[in-house]
Amino acid sequence: MGDPREPCDLPAHEIAARLASGEGSAGQVVESSLARIEAVDGRVRSFLAVTAEQARQRAAEVDRRRVAGETLSAVAGIPLALKDVLATRGIPTTCGSQILRGYVPPYDCTAWARLQAAGSVLVGKTNCDEFAMGSSTENSSFHPTHNPWDLDAVPGGSSGGSAAAVASGQAVWALGTDTGGSVRQPAALCGVVGMKPTYGLVSRYGLIAFASSLDHVGTFTRTVRDAATLLSAIGGHDPRDATSLPGPPPDLAATLEEGVRGLRIGVLEEGFGEGVEPGVRDRIGEAVDRLAALGAEIGEATLPHAGYTLSAYYLIAPAEASSNLARYDGVRYGHRADDPRDVVDMMTRTRGEGFGDEVKRRIMIGTYALSAGYYDAYYGQAQKVRTLIIRDYEEAFGSFDLLLSPTSPTTAFRLGERTDDPMAMYLSDVFTIPANLAGVPAISVPCGVDERGLPVGLQLTGKVLDEATVLRAAHAFEQDLGWTTRPPLLEAAAG
């Protein structure tokens, strides 16, 4: 392609422009991605399944169509990875769980179906915390994923496999899911762009549910422009999802260049409290100064009930999980215990053998919260807190166009550091959970590195269905910062 960089390391929009001009082919781009998987995934371990032959076939088809004179989508021929909670027809979908080991769905999730129809090329399914329950991708029942910036550190979670795949060039972009921060937090820890849209903008059909009122399909990309392109390609109404919002997919790239001059950005005071590492605090402070220099109007903002969000989330999400995961009983699909004595023994042993510790913990919490005599005291109260959080956002957006905070209070922590301390693990998502409770759009964009050379993520949160403003501000910041730093893993390989 006339560039010293490998094709798999280019942003998607650059690849698309080159392919459209006849410079290179989709087959070459896909081979670059597959070669990178072969070279580094033994150490990073992003993937649970690599779909090399299918990817080659789809790339060849894209190239044939282009040679025939077809005008193709901006996603055509671009290597994509999918978190393994997104159903793919004919390709195993395990949710990182032994209970679904070997399960092959007979249908595609809507997000992948739309990308597939537009010519996107799937290179594999990525590792994740089991049923998306975790913040480090250590709860996968298959293996942990490693952070390309430090192979002894976590990539974040639960979509850590997708984040690490994009950061290490194994995929140009990827889809994940975000229930309490599971796109934005790993994006921050891996130094890529992670976008969670408004609840309902992207169909959840074919997303194997964790917590239905909180689950969002989100994107991992190298640039904000790519996030706008990918999100536009998967968004829009889907009649198969009752929570899908009406209307066609938005053209989110149309207003990217409008800048931040005149935008009112509220810096959340909760984002600078106890537990925020100095390196994170410093980079976020510099980001605020940079946005002010670009013409944004900066002020102080607060979500008065933010201190209750973690407690509310860890009642609502487990309650919905206990209901959603009741279907895994050994009767219909997935794992079934051998030689059960009776149906009770079969269900008990199937679930005991198939689910990991964190999933069992959340099922028990959720079942307790929904049980007779405790529903109002726990689940009902948590839903009232959720309403208060929604009102906090509405009030804050009366004064500001966007809210700003760190994505995560820390950079990537060591593998094994928090596995025995669930509360420390849960605190990784303290800044991302509020947006899930309220269903508002939010993005994490790299804003530098800490003293250990690990990426820091800046989070910008917007009003319902105002993805355009979120992306516009993130793009302006990204362009001004000029983030080009690559993980040491790739620099060593290049050297």
Is-above-0.95 flag for pTM?
A: yes
Task: Please state, rounded to an integer, the average pLDDT across all residues of the chain.
Answer: 96
List beta partners, residue 47: 126
Listed range (124-128, 134-138, 419-423) with the worst mean pLDDT: 419-423
pLDDT band, very low/low/confident/very high, at 274 (cuts 50, 70, 90): confident
Q: Convert the pLDDT of each residue in 244-263 to its tens digit.
A: 999 999 999 999 999 999 99
Nearest residue to 217 (alpha-carbon basis) of 123, 85, 320: 85
- What is the pLDDT, as a whole number, of residue 4? 66
- Summarize pLDDT for 328-383 with one digit per residue, the tens: 999 988 999 999 999 999 999 999 999 999 999 999 999 999 998 999 999 999 99
Question: What pLDDT score was predicted for residue 66?
Answer: 96
| pLDDT average, residue stretch 214-230 | 98
pLDDT for 170 equals 98
pLDDT category, 492, cuts 50, 70, 90?
A: low
With a cut of 90, say whether residue 491 has pLDDT above it.
Answer: no
- What is the spatial distance between Cα 476 and Cα 454, in angstroms, rounded to a whole number? 22
Of 487, 464, 485, 483, the residue nearest 474 (C-alpha): 483
Q: How confident is the model at residue 495 (pLDDT cuts 50, 70, 90)?
A: low
pLDDT at 275 over 80: yes
Residue 273: predicted pLDDT: 87
Question: Alpha-carbon distance 97 to 132, whole Å?
Answer: 10
What gap in Å lies between CA 234 and CA 231, rounded to an integer? 5
CB 110 within 8 A of CB 238: yes
Beta bridge partners of 441: none
- How far is residue 444's CA from residue 78's CA, in Å, rounded to a whole number? 22
pLDDT at 333: 84
pLDDT tens readout for residues 12-70:
999 999 999 999 999 999 999 999 999 999 999 999 999 999 999 999 999 999 999 99
Q: Please check the confidence at residue 120 and state whether its pLDDT lies above 90.
A: yes
Q: How many CB atoms lie within 10 A of CB 222?
A: 23
Q: Which helix (H) or strand (E) holds 110?
A: helix 110-117
CA R_g for the chain: 21
Work out the pLDDT band at 493, boundaries 50, 70, 90: low
Task: Spell out where 162-307 has E strands.
Answer: 173-178, 193-196, 216-221, 264-268, 297-301
Q: In whole angstroms, what is the distance from residue 163 CA to residue 137 CA?
A: 11
Q: What is the pLDDT of residue 332?
A: 84
Residue 314 has pLDDT above 80, yes or no: yes
Which residues carry out catalysis? Answer: 83, 158, 182
* pLDDT exceeds cutoff 50 at 131: yes
Question: How far is Cα 214 from Cα 436, in angstroms, rounded to an integer?
Answer: 6
Instruction: Please check the confidence at residue 78 and state whether its pLDDT lies above 90.
Output: yes
CATH of domain 7-304+391-494: 3.90.1300.10
- Cα–Cα distance measured from residue 46 to residue 28, given in angstroms and rounded to the nearest whole number: 22
Measured from the Cβ of residue 274, the count of other Cβ atoms closer than 10 Å reads 5
Residue 3 has pLDDT above 80, yes or no: no
Q: What is the mean pLDDT of residues 443-460?
A: 98
Side-chain half-sphere exposure of 84, counting CA atoms within 13 A:
37
Strand order in the sheet with 402-406: 47-50, 121-126, 79-83, 173-178, 216-221, 193-196, 442-449, 455-461, 402-406, 264-268, 297-301
Task: Locate the domains of the chain by residue range.
Answer: 7-304+391-494
pLDDT for res 1: 43
Q: What local confidence, expressed as pLDDT, does residue 376 receive?
A: 93
DSSP element (H, E) containing 306? none
CA distance to 66, 141, 379, per residue, from 386 (Å): 49, 31, 11
Q: What are phi and psi of 209, to 5 degrees?
A: -70, 140
